[in-house]
A and B are shown apart, each in its own frame.
Chain A
Amino acid sequence: MPLRDFRLPEFDAPEVILPPGELEHETTIVNMGPQHPSTHGVLRLVLKLDGETVLRLVPVIGYLHRGKEKLAEQRTYTMIIPYTDRLDYLASMYMNLGYVRAVEQLLGIETPERGKYLRTAVAELQRLASHLLWLGSFALDLGATTVFLYTFREREIVVDLFEKLCGARLTYNYMRFGGVAADCPPGWVDEVRDYLDLQQARLAEYEAILTDNPVFRVRTEGIGIISAQEALNYGLSGPTLRGSGVAFDVRKADPYDAYGELDFNVITAQEGDCFARYRVRMDEMRESLNIVRQCLPRLQVPGEVSAKLPRVIKPPAGEAYARVEAPRGDFGVFVVSDGSASPVRLRFRSPSFANLSALDHMCRGMKLADVVAILGSIDIVLGEVDR
C-alpha cells in the first residue's frame, strides 16, 4: 500500500448524545511545564483548550535568564567567550563563532587560511552533533525510543572529536579572535574522515526507521503548518524557515570563514509542516558531511590557525553586527565598543527566541498531543531563548 493512502483504522465510538447548546463553549486551561520532559528545558506553556483542540497557547519564558548581556558589560572581550558557550549549549562552537566574528569585525582582523577551514569543519561537525541530538529527542517525543539510542551513539563520536580538540565535551571555549585556541592533534583529520563515512551510512539507518514509518508520518505530516510568508514575518530562521520553502541561509546570504569557497546546497522543503522540517534537517546533515569532507584536504596543509593579537584586546570605538547560521538558525551578535577593554553593549539575537514566538500560531487548531510534536520540530534550546 502506498504510504499516502495510509489511514489510521476507523473505530466505532459510542455515540454521545448531549443536550443541545451545552458544553459547546466550555474551554479548559492547562498548564504545561516549566518542568516537563517534552518542553526541552524550562519552558512553560499555558494552553487554552476546547476538548483536545488548542485554541490559544501562551509560552512563558525567562526561567533560564542569566543576564548574559549585562554580565558581558563587566568582562573583558576574551572573558566573554566561555559565557557564549552557555547560550545554545548544544551548539557551543557556533555560539563562540558568532561572538568572535563580531569582535573580529570591530578589530578588522582576518583568520589565517588553515584557521578558517578548521573553524568551518568544526562548525559543521557541531551542526551534525546538534541535529543528531534533535533527531533523537524529536523521535523520543513521538514515542520512537530506538532512534534516540542510535543518534546518541554517533553524537558521542563527534563529542570525542571535540574533546581531542579542546578538552571539553559540551562547553568548548574553542574559538578565538582571528582563529581557534589550538590546532587539531595528529591523526585528528583521519578520525574525522572515518566518522564521516560511518555517519553517511547511519543516516540511512535512521531514515529507514522514521521516514516511511506510518505512525511517524501521521504524527508529523500536516501538523504545525506555517506558510513561507508567515514564517518570514515571524522572523523564523534555520530549518524552521527553510521547511516552509524560504531558501534563506546565512552561509549563502552572507558567507563567513571558508563557506564562500565551498560547494553546498541550501536545503528547503515546501510544506511547512513538522515532516518538512524533519526532512530539511536530515538532508542538511548530508550537506554538512559534504562540507566537512571538502574541508579535510585543506586541513592536511600545515599553517597558522590563529592571528597574532595583543593579550588585552581593546577594539576601536564603533559597532559591529555579525551573523552565522547556527544549527537553529540565524544567530546574530551585535557589539558596541567605546575603545575600552569591555563592550558597552553586547546583544545576542537568538534564533530559538524568534522561532518560539511563532509556536502559538503553529499550534492553533491542532491537538494537544501535536503541541509536543510541533515544539520538538522547531528545536529550541532554552539557554539561548532566555540568555
Chain B
Amino acid sequence: MTVEQLRTQYAALLKHADERDGLWTVDVEAAHLRALLTALAAHFDYPEDLTCVDEGDALRVLYRLYATASGQVLHVNVRVPRDDAQLPTVSDLWRGYEWHEREVFDLFGVVFTEHPDLRRILTWEGFQGHPLRKDFQPDADDADWRIPEQTDQDIMDLLQRDA
C-alpha cells in the first residue's frame, strides 16, 4: 500500500492524508474513525501508541499504528470538542488499546463509548478533573487531594460481571 492508494481507497472517510519522512499522517472526522480503523486493522497489526494533545479549542487524539509486515507507521489524528469529547472505542480491534484508552480518558477526559472497562487508570477513583488538560488547576484553593477510602466496588463489580 502507498499513501496515494490509502487516499483514493478511503477518500470518503479521510479529511487529509500526507507523507513526510516515511511517516503517513491522516486526519479523520470522529464519525468516520471507527470505519477507517476497522478497514486498516488487517494491515496495521500493531497498536504502537494512543495519546492525546490539548489544542485549546479541541482535543486531538492520535492513534499511532505500525504494520509489522511492511514496516509502515501511520498516525491517525481525530479532533473532538473539549466539552463533548467522545469517540468510539477500538479496543476490540486492538486489545492493546484498552488500557491506552483508559489512560486518555483518565488524563484528558475523552470518553470512549462501548469500551469494556472505562475506569481511571493512573489516578484514583474519585479523582476530580483530567490533569493533562491545559485548564486543569492543580493548585486551586478548593482542591482536595485526600485520597478517598477505597471500596474496590468497581473491581468487585468487574469480577462479578464475568463470573
**Set of chain B residues within 8 Å of A67, measured between Cβ atoms:** 131
CB distance from B59 to the nearest CB of A (A): 11
**Set of chain A residues within 8 Å of B95, measured between Cβ atoms:** 230, 233-235, 357-358, 361
Contact indicator B46/A235 (Cβ below 8 Å): yes
Contact indicator B122/A65 (Cβ below 8 Å): yes
Contact indicator A232/B46 (Cβ below 8 Å): yes
Contact indicator A61/B96 (Cβ below 8 Å): no
**Set of chain A residues within 8 Å of B51, measured between Cβ atoms:** 334, 347, 349
**Set of chain A residues within 8 Å of B138, measured between Cβ atoms:** 70
Contact indicator B45/A233 (Cβ below 8 Å): yes
CB distance from B99 to the nearest CB of A (A): 4
Minimal Cβ-Cβ distance residue in B for A357: B99
**Set of chain B residues within 8 Å of A246, measured between Cβ atoms:** 68
**Set of chain B residues within 8 Å of A334, measured between Cβ atoms:** 49, 51, 62, 64
Within 8 A of B (CB), among A28-63: 29, 46, 48, 56, 58, 60-62
Query: Is B162's CB within 8 Å of the partner chain A?
Result: yes
Query: Is B113's CB within 8 Å of the partner chain A?
Result: no
Minimal Cβ-Cβ distance residue in A for B51: A347
Minimal Cβ-Cβ distance residue in A for B98: A357
Query: Is B29's CB within 8 Å of the partner chain A?
Result: no
Contact indicator B159/A58 (Cβ below 8 Å): yes
How long is the Cα–Cα vector from A56 to B163 in the complex, in angstroms? Answer: 9
Contact indicator B96/A56 (Cβ below 8 Å): no
**Set of chain A residues within 8 Å of B54, measured between Cβ atoms:** 345
Given contacts A61-B122, A233-B95, A353-B99, contact A336 B53 (CB under 8 A): yes
Query: Is A146's CB within 8 Å of the partner chain B?
Result: no
Within 8 A of B (CB), among A87-125: none
Query: Is B94's CB within 8 Å of the partner chain A?
Result: yes
With beta carbons under 8 angstroms apart, the residue of A29, A332, A361 that contacts B48 is A332
- We find that the number of chain B residues with CB closer than 8 angstroms to chain A is 39
Contact indicator B68/A354 (Cβ below 8 Å): no
Query: Is B11's CB within 8 Å of the partner chain A?
Result: no
How long is the Cα–Cα vector from A120 to B146 in the complex, in angstroms? Answer: 44
The 8 A CB mask of A7-29 against B (1 = contact, 0 = none) is 00000000000000000000101
Given contacts A233-B95, A354-B96, contact A345 B53 (CB under 8 A): yes
Query: Is A86's CB within 8 Å of the partner chain B?
Result: no
Query: Is B158's CB within 8 Å of the partner chain A?
Result: yes
Contact indicator B132/A70 (Cβ below 8 Å): yes
**Set of chain A residues within 8 Å of B152, measured between Cβ atoms:** 46
Query: Is A69's CB within 8 Å of the partner chain B?
Result: yes
Contact indicator A386/B155 (Cβ below 8 Å): no
CB distance from B105 to the nearest CB of A (A): 13
The 8 A CB mask of A249-276 against B (1 = contact, 0 = none) is 0000110000000000000000000000
- We find that the number of chain A residues with CB closer than 8 angstroms to chain B is 40
Query: Is A330's CB within 8 Å of the partner chain B?
Result: yes
How long is the Cα–Cα vector from A386 to B46 in the complex, in angstroms? Answer: 22
With beta carbons under 8 angstroms apart, the residue of B48, B53, B123, B156 that contacts A349 is B48
Query: Is A387's CB within 8 Å of the partner chain B?
Result: yes
CB distance from B125 to the nearest CB of A (A): 10
**Set of chain B residues within 8 Å of A46, measured between Cβ atoms:** 152, 155, 159
With beta carbons under 8 angstroms apart, the residue of B53, B71, B94, B120 that contacts A235 is B94
Contact indicator B96/A234 (Cβ below 8 Å): yes
How long is the Cα–Cα vector from A333 to B96 in the complex, in angstroms? Answer: 18
Minimal Cβ-Cβ distance residue in B for A67: B131
Query: Is B10's CB within 8 Å of the partner chain A?
Result: no
Query: Is A144's CB within 8 Å of the partner chain B?
Result: no
How long is the Cα–Cα vector from A29 to B162 in the complex, in angstroms? Answer: 13
Query: Is A188's CB within 8 Å of the partner chain B?
Result: no
Contact indicator A29/B96 (Cβ below 8 Å): no
With beta carbons under 8 angstroms apart, the residue of A29, A248, A354 that contacts B99 is A354
How long is the Cα–Cα vector from A67 to B133 in the complex, in angstroms? Answer: 12
Contact indicator A232/B45 (Cβ below 8 Å): yes
Query: Is A321's CB within 8 Å of the partner chain B?
Result: yes
How long is the Cα–Cα vector from A346 to B23 in the complex, in angstroms? Answer: 19
Query: Is A142's CB within 8 Å of the partner chain B?
Result: no
The 8 A CB mask of A226-242 against B (1 = contact, 0 = none) is 00001011111000000
Minimal Cβ-Cβ distance residue in A for B107: A69
Contact indicator B123/A344 (Cβ below 8 Å): no
Within 8 A of A (CB), among B138-163: 138, 152, 155-156, 158-159, 162-163
B residues near A, CB below 8 A?
23, 45-49, 51, 53-54, 62, 64, 68, 71, 75, 94-100, 103, 107, 120-124, 131-132, 136, 138, 152, 155-156, 158-159, 162-163
Query: What are 27 inter-chain pairs, A to B, with CB distance below 8 A?
Result: A29-B156, A29-B159, A46-B152, A46-B159, A56-B159, A56-B162, A58-B159, A61-B121, A61-B122, A62-B124, A65-B122, A70-B138, A232-B46, A232-B68, A233-B45, A233-B94, A233-B96, A235-B46, A235-B94, A246-B68, A332-B48, A345-B53, A347-B51, A349-B48, A354-B100, A358-B95, A387-B122
